Structure 1
């Protein structure tokens, strides 16, 4: 556990955010990756969780002018959306990218609300609260419940259940912090119900759907079981899970196998209280966990070779989270900082 924490520390920046990986290709700050990376610190007495969110609040303030525009009119070009990826000093990277990622905004809102729920000081001042209001208005302007986005995997635009669910969960989480119109959540719930158990029109199932179980807990128990059956029966492989059938990313004869799939499944079964399944996926996680703790993003499809995005902060965090749930008392509390 200490080793995994140290690996995350190697990717933590002075501003409190995290790069996605130590690799050259992923040496950037993604909103989504930061929010997942700090989940192991949600219940700890250190300040890494809050500091990461303060960095993201400051990022949104830096580009508040853009958010202001798109609380009134929908973005047309991808660069007009709130960007998904930034340099280490939290500046937009001017390179074409799939920036229409509503799930990242929903995840940020959820992370703020969840932090407040467990007693963390997430809101520093009224400007932070104003940013929350504007992000709510941004999702409303987008009509997130029917707006095609690039989704968690930053690919082709379509309506993704995982993105809609993230926004529903995020809007619910900040209702006590800022005003959220009730119909804004209801429209999302209706759209999610119509989409599930599919991820989208083109994808019957997708690893991203696990987010609706963990961390969001935004689906019923029966729907959670449907999602888990589809993921485990269609996407599970030797080194983790493929993201979806037909994925071309790092495909050398078959789809790449993402390592955080195993701990993510374990966390989902933990939410459902199914301890035997939790242990099953903990053992599978241990089997692919390198001795040095540097969990890769994936194994190249059709090979036993990890790709260069090693370690991946998000994957390391997922292993930490499952380890804490399996044997919480065996690990020392993270030191305050």
Structure 2
């Protein structure tokens, strides 16, 4: 046993040496932020702190800290590593909180210029590029921050300290809540493939937002020491609509991109955003077929970024230029690290071995540590031959060695493959277990009669109901009142945040039973609000609407317990139905409310 423990200690100490040298030594001692790299090239200043890169770059540190927890004597390294993670996440949190006014504005406008910034000064946390000088609206980055905040909190890290911070995180949930309908610049910051600064709806952004909303829903940000005040609330309909949009987009990335290697982060680690195993396989095969090469994957087809033919003096391309990048797009080793992690979570050892061997051949060694370059590009002399015979020419690594994001995921894959950490350690919320899982809940319908007279008339037709008076102390309220309640969640006057904008609530949200200040409340679905929807007076339409809502609820319900849809029948409905035809009592399955 002592020999096994000493071997484990030796392996962890070796990884500590590498991760300390490659990642932790770059962490700013004041802000806790990490530069994407130390390189300053014609393609950009990589010393800034990108939100996305920072979250990915610290994952190896988090994983190593989890591994050190298993040692009886860790020499203080568990504490050091875990608090390095906390410091970075809080550094990002402070950067975002300083732009709380943008969060408030964006909730209402979804405007590109109201977006949180995508990168900050590593040394100060200040903004580095103006609102209109960069494609800042990158909803996948904010979503990734929330997703890993949830996972890290579930693993036992204490990242959020105050109610002000809880309120801000709640507003970040509102910020990404409409990603399913919000075009953004996406993970590559360019938007449309033509690179003209036009945003578009990206599957990778929608998928990461869906994963973040699912992960943080119901999470207590103070951990086991928290109360109801520190719990984050997510509207289930926003998750459902993200799912609908995502499943309709895949296997494409967007309207302009046939596929994108970024989707690997959606169908696998860290998002695990897709339940449909066949759709996952289709998307993955599409990426392998169209984007994979010997040196990694292309980001997307006709991607000119960092090719020798790209004009670095211009921000945008001309439409006719895209064709000249065909077959010579740069290949990114980064995406092989996603494939390794995916194989490890799925228990596919053959896949893991294949991509680990591919990565081993791509490492550039410095000071005895194997490092992953950002990209491999085709040299100018080999361009024409590569176009004629794709994948035939040798490629060279660029100057950005390592890309810390890629290096972190590489280390994380190594820790997992050697058994130093388990999949459940870095996915304590069990997101990878959702693949192929589908709930088939029983949807309960609770029928209420407007008064006892109507209750008696319905009983004559064999329809059991109760009146609002009979279900007391449970209260029956309109959906608009629930919207008002949600408008108070996350409200923080000190930060200038108002909570959720008052918008129409959908059926998944109103199909839950709520406890508000000690009182039990149920809410009528929005489509029964006669002040807003006159079509409720059309009996045939109303029955079809109810059937449609029941199907929607059954397909998308993912919470514990049974959904309960509460329908209030009125004299006006009853009289309207008789003007056309007698009610078919088989149209509705009844279930009286029971407290």
TM-score for both structures, normalised by structure 2: 0.53
Equivalences for residues 289-308 of structure 1 within 5 A: 289-292=363-366, 293-302=370-379, 304-308=395-399
Q: Deviations over 1:235-280 (max 9, x none)?
A: 1112111111110101236000112121111111222221110111
Contact 1:4 1:316 in 2 (8 A): no
| CA deviations over 1:134-165 (Å, ceiling 9, x no partner) | 1112223xx21011111101112211111000
Could you tell me which runs of 5 or more consecutive residues in structure 2 were left unpaired when the two chains were aligned. 1-14, 66-77, 192-198, 220-231, 309-324, 380-393, 422-595
What's the Cα RMSD here? 1.7
Query: Residues 55-66 of structure 1 correspond to what in structure 2 (within 5 A)?
Result: 55-66=91-102
Contact 2:112–2:184 (CA under 8 A) maintained in structure 1 = no
1:152 aligns with: 187
User: Is 1:320–2:411 an aligned residue pair?
Assistant: yes
- Runs of 4+ in structure 1 displaced over 4 angstroms? none
Matched, 1:309 2:397: no
| SS of match in other structure, 2:181 | coil
Q: Secondary structure at the match of 1:20?
A: coil
Give the secondary-structure state (helix, strand or coil) at the position aligned to 2:255. Answer: coil
- Deviation for aligned residue 1:112: 0.8
What is the distance in 2 between the residues matched to 1:268 and 1:223?
15
Number of residue equivalences: 326
Please point out which of 144, 152, 158 is paired with 1:121.
Answer: 158
In 2, are the aligned partners of 1:50 and 1:122 still within 8 Å (CA)? yes
The 1-side partners of 2:159 and 2:112 are apart by 32
Give the drift of 1:329.
Answer: 4.1
Instruction: Report whether the alignment pairs 1:191 with 2:191.
Output: no
Structure 1: 5+ residue stretches without partners: 331-337
Q: In the aligned structure 2, how far is the partner of 1:169 from the partner of 1:197?
A: 17
Q: Could you tell me which residue of structure 1 aligns to residue 204 of structure 2?
A: 162
Q: How do 1:102-121 residues align onto structure 2 when only pairs under 5 Å count?
A: 102-121=139-158
Give matches, 1:168-317, under 5 Å: 168-177=210-219, 178-212=232-266, 213-220=268-275, 221-252=277-308, 254-292=328-366, 293-302=370-379, 304-317=395-408
Distance in 2 of aligned mates of 1:188 and 1:34: 25
Normalising to structure 1: TM-score of the pair?
A: 0.92
Is contact 2:170–2:233 with CA below 8 Å preserved after alignment?
yes
Q: 1:42 to 1:224 in 2, by over 3 A?
A: farther
How big is each residue's C-alpha offset from its partner over 1:313-337, in whole Å with a ceiling of 9 and x where there is no partner? 101101101111221449xxxxxxx
CA distance in 1, matches of 2:154, 2:25: 29
Bigger Cα Rg: 2
Match of 2:430? none
| TM-fit CA distance, 1:304 | 2.5
Contact 1:250 1:301 in 2 (8 A): no
Aligned to 1:87: 121
1:244 alignment partner, SS class: coil
Matched, 1:38 2:58: yes
Q: Cα distance 1:5–1:262, how it changes in 2: closer, same or farther (>3 A)? A: farther
Q: Could you tell me how far apart the structure 1 residues matched to 2:284 and 2:179 are?
A: 25
Contact 2:253 2:259 in 1 (8 A): yes
Residue 57 of structure 1 contacts residue 131 of structure 1 at CA under 8 Å; is this kept in 2?
no
Measure the CA separation in 2 of the matches of 1:323 and 1:102: 29
Q: C-alpha separation between the residues in 2 aligned to 1:312 and 1:69?
A: 34
Identify the range of structure 1 (161-170 vs 95-104) with the bigger mean alpha-carbon deviation.
Answer: 95-104
Displacement of 1:114: 0.6
Within a 5 Å distance, the mapping from 1:70-85 to structure 2 comes to 70-77=106-113, 80-85=114-119
Q: Distance in 2 between matches of 1:286 and 1:328?
A: 19
Query: For the residues of structure 2 that align with 1:183 and 1:111, how far apart are their CA atoms?
Result: 22
1:335 maps to none
Q: Secondary structure at the match of 1:291?
A: strand
